[in-house]
Amino acid sequence: MAKKRRKILIYTDLDGTLLDHHTYSFQEALPALGEIRRRNIPLILSSSKTKGELEEYQRRLRIKHPFISENGGAIFIPKGYFNKLENEPKVKGKYLVLELGIPYRKLRKRLLEVSRKFGVKVVGFGDLKTKEIASLFNLPYKEARSAKKRDYDEPFYFVDKIEPKEIGAIEREFKRSGLNLTRGGRFYHLLGQNDKGKAVRSLTRMYKQNRCTDFVTVGIGDSLNDLPMLKAVDIPVLVRQKDSTYDKEILKKLKVQKARGVGPSGWNQAILDLVRKYC
């Protein structure tokens, strides 16, 4: 009797994972992307990027599946994609939107309050001009403008060197306000009680309910803010970072499948291996 094949559902980070850390190219991942498209496997972008940025990558990657913006701040579902949703969504243009985060202006206000209290200088996206973001991240002006238009997540950095002990104290202060601090590939991120993992679990339940099938869920990332997503899937995959190492904090906290390559090269190999195994 033939072994029954299970369908897979892939959640992926972008920067440093599917996209090269420096060039933002996904050229090295094209073989796996083609295989995913050929087999009609849902590929869900789950990133700290904004709605506008993710829409551009949806277009470049030629995918029309739901996506998760700003570290789980919201789930954007194309109208007509699902018949049943977990909660009452907001209607925004061509999407049904499930908001999990808190408003950006509240994050900005609290970031400034806490930085003053601890006497540390921080610079967030709210402090930067579009051309400064473009320069910092090597982005075209149009993409930098989309990156600055934030709704649920404030990326920031400390101007001066700060010790881990003080970062821990600042993190605890944010927690007292119901906020979370996480670290991405380049910046720290301040957000509400949302994270990639909560959004992934919610979206997976909707897939199972609407598609009436079980899925093997795959999550693939490279840095600490991907940890909640990796914990929320059946198969967590970690790609090498730009210096060819794996994120040590993730390795301490979770047993993962290690991709052999850096960024999109590792992504390509890991996804092709999984597709061959399950499809």
Tokens of 198: 């909560």
CB atoms under 10 Å from CB of 206, counted, come to 20
Judge residue 59's burial from the number of C-beta atoms within 10 Å of its C-beta, 0-12 exposed, 13-18 middle, 19 or more buried: exposed
Alpha carbon distance 226, 185 (integer Å)? 10
Say how many Å lie between the first and final Cα of the chain, rounded: 17
Catalytic member of 13, 151, 222, 247? 13
CB 223 within 8 A of CB 240: no
Q: What are phi and psi of 159, to 5 degrees?
A: -65, -45
Cα angle 256-241-156, degrees, rounded to a multiple of 5: 105
153 is known as an active-site residue: no
Alpha carbon distance 121, 157 (integer Å)? 9
Alpha carbon distance 190, 180 (integer Å)? 6
- In 3D space, the residue among 155, 139, 226 whose CA is nearest the CA of residue 187 turns out to be 155
Active site residues: 13
